[in-house]
């Protein structure tokens, strides 16, 4: 096909995908493949956060806990009425660490992120970006694919082209135009998905924009080409382990376990699908208040609380499964106890001057103006991968190699790595993480991703790429 034909095909595909979301589930009867909807029964299996479980849930919350939450709601309602007062500022830290009432999260998260100010500063910007996405976004195919994988156990997202799936698709497509440096990267669907559980479409868009661009959170560096913030935070995490838990660090090194294998969702999506959702929300509450320091401290807290159990596991697969799967299902501690330990960890790290990896360098912050349309080049429009890696990607590759050279890779593992499954995507960054790592056979990461690939296949019952398993 010539270039014009390829461009026309890409345009038709984008238009077809958008039309399905615009029509919605009710108007697509008989046009949704059975595999696109998970098989769940609603009755007796949905928890208070909207997640559907395969088994009968425990008995309802004890009356005394309900009474405590009701009393907290009253206090929070009063605080919301005087949000900018000195009294509220004095109480905010203590009350957020005790937990935000779930019924008020929509209001409090918007307050903490200052969503209304961002939205009113550029009225109509969200609709403008969404309109541009319909015409120009080169990420539509990948977003469409990821939307139907995100939170499939949640009643908001489980049905194909449901209202919230459509909102998630719109938010991600609009943001891919708003931030031309990042566009769309896997993992962002998890962030936007949680925000949409508590916000409407436009508020979730601005909340996502703030999380990526505000220096307090600076998540732009996690998703931009080369993932510079991920590299920096992994190095800082290693420093914390070396100082405070040298035996555990030695145990990880003994089995060739790099932090990147178990911690990507910690950093990329703030512990979504790595700890129980009730605990995840508590961590998000604190993260929105205190910023990046919470992520490093929570990562340390998880390993500190479970150090004894992890050290008993004498296999890399068992360790990764314990941290990624077992703790998501059953963390082993009450949420209040975990948050108490998180606060102690933050104080401990602060005394050691390890609570903060430092301010983000310019490479981790947006370099181009946000919300300004940048027309994609022809290769991006068609969906062709770049022939060569960029300098940023080459540097990121070199950084990973340096990290992994410190870990001995048994020869029997190298043989297995050639069997890795690849998944076609439109993004050079996915190619960098999937295909180029395969060429670097000395990297332990690829072997472990290959071995644990079956876990995610069993969970989602469809094929996914390597990054999709970790992120």
Domains of the chain: 3-45+123-215 (1.10.8.270), 63-117 (no CATH), 228-351 (1.10.472.80), 386-470 (no CATH)
Mean pLDDT across 80-88: 92
Percent of the chain whose predicted confidence (pLDDT) is above 70:
75
- List Cβ neighbours of 68 (8 Å cut-off, separation of 6 or more): none
pLDDT tens per residue across span 139-188? 999 999 999 989 988 989 988 889 999 999 999 999 999 999 999 998 89
Q: In degrees rounded to 5, what are phi and psi of residue 51?
A: -85, 140
Give the C-alpha separation, 44 to 78, whole Å. 35
Tell me whether residue 425 is exposed, middle or buried, using C-beta atoms within 10 angstroms of its C-beta: 0 to 12, 13 to 18, 19 or more: buried
User: What sign does the CA torsion over 183, 159, 471, 296 have?
Assistant: positive
CA distance 10 to 161: 21
- What DSSP state is assigned to residue 436? I
What is the per-residue pLDDT for 284? 97
For the segment 181-200, what is each residue's pLDDT rounded down to a tens digit? 999 998 899 999 999 999 99
- State the pLDDT confidence band at 402, using cuts at 50, 70 and 90: low
Least confident of 251-265, 289-303, 428-442: 428-442
Ranges 83-92, 212-221, 398-407: which has the least confidence: 398-407
Closest to 260 measured CA to CA, from 219, 290, 291, 222: 222
Q: What is the model's pLDDT at position 39?
A: 60
Distance in angstroms (rounded) separating the CA atoms of residues 159 and 239 = 43
CA distances from 108 to 80, 96, 195 (A): 8, 10, 12
Q: How far apart are CA 410 and CA 153, in angstroms?
A: 38
Torsion angle (degrees, nearest 10) of CA 434, 423, 227, 266: -100
pLDDT tier for residue 53 given thresholds of 50, 70 and 90:
confident
> Averaged over 73-79, what is the pLDDT?
92
Please provide the average confidence, as pLDDT, over all residues in the chain: 81
Does position 466 have pLDDT exceeding 80, yes or no?
no
Question: pTM to 2 decimals?
Answer: 0.78
Q: How many residues does this entry show for the chain?
A: 471
Is 410 buried (19+), middle (13-18) or exposed (0-12) by CB count in 10 A? exposed
- pLDDT exceeds cutoff 60 at 418: no
Is the distance from CB of 285 to CB of 98 less than 8 angstroms? no
Compare 414 and 285 and report the one with higher pLDDT: 285
Nearest to 443 by CA among 466, 469, 471, 468: 466
How far apart are the C-alpha atoms of 442 and 139, rounded to whole Å?
A: 32
pLDDT at residue 118 tops 60: yes
Q: Is the pLDDT of residue 64 over 80?
A: no
């Amino acid at each position: 096909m010539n270039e014009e034909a390829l461009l026309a095909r890409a345009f038709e595909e984008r238009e077809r995908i958008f039309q399905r979301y615009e029509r919605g589930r009710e108007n697509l009867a008989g046009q949704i493949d059975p595999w696109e909807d998970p098989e769940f029964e609603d009755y007796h299996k949905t928890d208070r956060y909207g997640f559907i479980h395969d088994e009968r849930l425990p008995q309802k919350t004890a009356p005394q806990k309900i009474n405590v939450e009701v009393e907290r709601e009253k206090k929070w309602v009063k605080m919301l009425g005087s949000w900018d007062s000195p009294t509220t500022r004095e109480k905010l830290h203590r009350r957020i660490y005790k937990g935000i009432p779930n019924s008020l999260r929509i209001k409090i998260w918007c307050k903490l992120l200052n969503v209304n100010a961002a939205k009113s500063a550029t009225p109509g910007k969200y609709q403008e970006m969404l309109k541009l996405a319909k015409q120009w976004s080169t990420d539509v195919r990948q977003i469409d694919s990821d939307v139907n994988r995100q939170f499939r156990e949640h009643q908001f997202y489980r049905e194909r082209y449901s209202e919230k799936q459509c909102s998630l698709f719109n938010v991600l497509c609009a943001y891919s135009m708003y931030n031309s440096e990042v566009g769309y990267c896997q993992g962002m669907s998890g962030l936007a998905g949680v925000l949409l559980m508590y916000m409407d479409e436009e508020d979730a868009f601005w909340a996502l924009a703030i999380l990526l661009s505000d220096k307090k959170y600076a998540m732009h560096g996690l998703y931009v080409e080369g993932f510079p913030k991920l590299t920096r935070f992994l190095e800082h995490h290693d420093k914390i382990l070396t100082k405070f838990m040298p035996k555990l660090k030695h145990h990880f090194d003994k089995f060739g376990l790099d932090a990147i294998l178990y911690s990507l969702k910690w950093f990329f999506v703030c512990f979504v699908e790595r700890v129980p959702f009730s605990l995840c929300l508590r961590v998000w509450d604190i993260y929105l208040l205190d910023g990046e320091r919470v992520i490093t401290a929570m990562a340390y807290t998880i390993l500190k609380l479970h150090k004894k159990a992890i050290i008993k596991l004498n296999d890399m697969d068992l360790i990764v499964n314990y941290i990624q799967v077992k703790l998501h299902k059953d963390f082993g501690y009450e949420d209040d106890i975990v948050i108490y330990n998180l606060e102690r960890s933050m104080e401990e790290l602060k005394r050691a001057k390890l609570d903060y990896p430092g301010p983000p360098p310019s490479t981790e912050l947006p370099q181009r103006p946000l919300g300004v349309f940048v027309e994609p080049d022809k290769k991006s429009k068609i969906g062709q991968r770049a022939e060569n890696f960029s300098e940023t990607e080459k540097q990121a590759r070199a950084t990973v190699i340096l990290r992994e050279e410190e870990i001995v890779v048994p020869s029997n593992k190298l043989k297995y790595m050639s069997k890795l499954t690849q998944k076609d995507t439109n993004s050079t960054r996915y190619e960098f993480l999937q295909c180029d790592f395969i060429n670097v056979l000395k990297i332990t990461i690829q072997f472990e991703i290959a071995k644990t690939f079956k876990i995610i296949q069993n969970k989602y019952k469809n094929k996914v790429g390597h990054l999709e398993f970790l992120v």
